[in-house]
């Protein structure tokens, strides 16, 4: 049962309910009328608003159309100006092209003129640079010679008159050598300085100078190292170098043997010098020749016992020979004369013969060598025993081919283009120096 049916039933039973129902219906009708009035007013308002919106949109469209027309007119103006600018640019390019043609003609004339003038100018410029450079080199040579002579003078002894005379001889020796070599004045003076500081007198230093310079040129070793090496060999073995008549020939032989070993064995001069330096303290008790000693060091370097280790281990072997002479006699039957120095290579040769010249050292032979030379001293000995015939051949070749070898390789090195260029430069330099000195003497 819905609410209306319940309301009718209630009216039947209650008169008051009927009256309430009539009042409710009147209120409902009044509310409906007000709602209708409000809806009509809202519809009227919305119609008015929509009409206004459409009117505004029409105005905006009208204004936009006007702007588009104005922009179109402006674009026409811009395009017209652009065409005018392009026409002006074409005219400018045409003018530039005409001017470039004129410029090319001018440049062509300038180039032709330059081709005529440039060679003469370059020749003059080169001559000016050559003169300036020559003067600069001459001043540098003067300074180097002066500094070098002053350094040498600090190690000179005697009265002033003797020193002046000796310095004149040293100066002349340096200048005469410089003209025929590629070694700079500074290095030549340094070589003379280290020769003089190695306990050599002036005569010995001058005698050693040319062989030392030849060894420097031939091997590329510096002045200090080469000069100290030549002087060191002379001081340790100079008295025992055979086949020479005077100190000059001894210095020549020292340089010859060193450079020959450098050329024929796989050893650098620095390695050979290092090996000899380590061995030198043990040489006073040996009867071996200088050629034998240096060749042995070279052969050991070729057998990969390098540099200072060569001399150090050979010196240790020499000490073990004297220490274990009784074992040497009992094992190999080799004895020494108590009143004579030991000949190291002859001892090695005797051991080699006792071992029957085997190509490789056996275990028993290695043990015998260890008992005599100890572990370290036996290293070099076993290398020599492995090819003693090769060592003898190298010594024989050095005895035949070493004579004059330092000068020979120096001349070969001096035949190169760079060496001749340097020599010509030095010759011209000293020619100008002599002219300048003679001019000063005439003025004074």
Q: Is the pLDDT of residue 264 over 70?
A: yes
Pair of tokens at residue 187: 């290095």
Pair of tokens at residue 337: 């004369």
Q: Is residue 43 very low, low, confident or very high in pLDDT (cuts 50, 70, 90)?
A: very low
**DSSP structural state of residue 416:** S
From residue 418, give the alpha-carbon distance in Å to each of 181, 182, 184, 378, 414. Answer: 11, 9, 13, 47, 8
Number of domains within the chain: 2
Helix, strand, coil fractions of the chain, as percent rounded to 5: 85, 0, 15
112, 217: one domain: no
20, 99: one domain: yes
Q: Is residue 402 very low, low, confident or very high in pLDDT (cuts 50, 70, 90)?
A: very high
pLDDT for 54 equals: 47
Q: Is the pLDDT of residue 436 over 70?
A: no
92, 219: one domain: no
- Domain finish residue from 117, 133, 149: 133
Please give the angle made by the CA atoms of 93, 94 and 99, to the nearest 5 degrees: 95
The predicted-structure confidence for 54-77, as pLDDT tens digits, reads as follows 456 556 555 655 655 665 566 565
116, 209: one domain: no
Pair of tokens at residue 201: 């007198």
Q: Phi first, then psi: what are they for 119, rounded to 5°?
A: -55, -45
Counted residue by residue, the chain has a size of: 444
pLDDT for 235 equals: 94
213, 110: one domain: no
98, 30: one domain: yes
Mean of per-residue pLDDT scores for the chain: 78
Task: Please report whether residue 336 resides in a domain.
Answer: yes
90, 208: one domain: no
Cα–Cα distance between 384 and 270 in angstroms, integer?
Answer: 22
Cα–Cα distance between 347 and 318 in angstroms, integer?
Answer: 10
**317, 377 in Cβ contact below 8 A?**
yes
Task: Please report whether residue 436 resides in a domain.
Answer: no
pLDDT for 13 equals: 47
Which residue range is the domain that position 28 belongs to? 3-133
Task: Please report whether residue 89 resides in a domain.
Answer: yes
Task: Please report whether residue 323 resides in a domain.
Answer: yes
Q: Cβ neighbours of residue 308 under 8 Å, at least 6 residues apart?
A: 274, 275, 277, 278
244, 372: one domain: yes
Segment 300-311 mean pLDDT: 92
413, 271: one domain: yes
Task: Please report whether residue 231 resides in a domain.
Answer: yes
Please give the angle made by the CA atoms of 288, 294 and 300, to the nearest 5 degrees: 105
Least confident window among 32-46, 143-157, 191-205: 32-46
The predicted-structure confidence for 99-152, as pLDDT tens digits, reads as follows 656 656 666 665 666 555 566 656 666 666 766 676 676 677 778 888 988 999
116, 253: one domain: no
Closest by CA position to 289, among listed 399, 403, 199, 402: 399
Cβ neighbours, 10 Å, residue 282: 18
């Amino acid at each position: 049962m819905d609410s209306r049916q319940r309301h009718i039933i209630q009216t039947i039973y209650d008169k008051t309910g009927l009256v309430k129902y009539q009042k409710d219906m009147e209120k409902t009708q009044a509310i409906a009328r007000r709602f209708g009035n409000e809806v009509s007013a809202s519809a009227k308002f919305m119609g008015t608003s929509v009409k206004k919106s459409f009117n505004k949109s029409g105005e905006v469209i009208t204004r936009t159309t006007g702007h588009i027309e104005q922009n179109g007119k402006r674009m026409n103006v811009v395009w017209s100006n652009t065409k005018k600018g392009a026409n002006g640019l074409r005219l400018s390019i045409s003018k530039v092209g005409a001017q470039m043609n004129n410029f090319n003609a001018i440049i062509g004339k300038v180039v032709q003129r330059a081709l005529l003038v440039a060679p003469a100018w370059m020749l003059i410029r080169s001559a000016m640079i050559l003169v300036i450079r020559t003067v600069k080199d001459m001043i540098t040579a003067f300074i180097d010679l002066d500094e070098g002579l002053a350094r040498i003078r600090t190690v000179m002894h005697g009265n002033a008159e003797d020193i002046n005379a000796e310095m004149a001889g040293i100066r002349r020796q340096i200048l005469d050598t410089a003209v025929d070599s590629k070694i700079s004045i500074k290095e030549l003076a340094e070589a003379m300085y280290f020769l003089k500081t190695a306990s050599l007198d002036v005569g010995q230093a001058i005698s050693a100078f040319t062989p030392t310079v030849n060894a420097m040129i031939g091997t590329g070793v510096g002045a200090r190292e080469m000069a100290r090496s030549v002087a060191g060999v002379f001081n340790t073995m100079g008295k025992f170098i055979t086949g020479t008549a005077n100190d000059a020939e001894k210095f020549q032989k020292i340089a010859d043997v060193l450079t020959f070993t450098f050329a024929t064995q796989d050893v650098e001069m620095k390695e050979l010098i290092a090996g000899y330096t380590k061995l030198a303290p043990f040489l006073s008790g040996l009867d071996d020749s200088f050629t034998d000693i240096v060749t042995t060091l070279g052969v050991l370097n070729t057998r990969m016992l390098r540099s200072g280790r060569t001399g150090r281990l050979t010196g240790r072997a020499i000490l073990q020979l004297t220490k274990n002479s009784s074992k040497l006699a009992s094992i190999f039957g080799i004895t020494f004369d108590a009143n004579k120095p030991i000949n190291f290579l002859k001892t090695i040769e005797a051991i080699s013969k006792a071992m029957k010249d085997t190509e490789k050292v056996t275990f028993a032979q290695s043990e015998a060598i260890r008992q005599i030379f100890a572990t370290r001293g036996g290293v070099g000995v076993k290398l020599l025993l492995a090819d003693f015939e090769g060592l003898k051949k190298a010594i024989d070749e050095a005895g035949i081919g070493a004579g004059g070898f330092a000068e020979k390789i120096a001349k070969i090195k001096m035949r190169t283009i760079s060496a001749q260029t340097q020599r010509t430069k030095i010759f011209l330099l000293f020619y100008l120096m002599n002219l300048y000195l003679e001019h000063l003497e005439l003025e004074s």
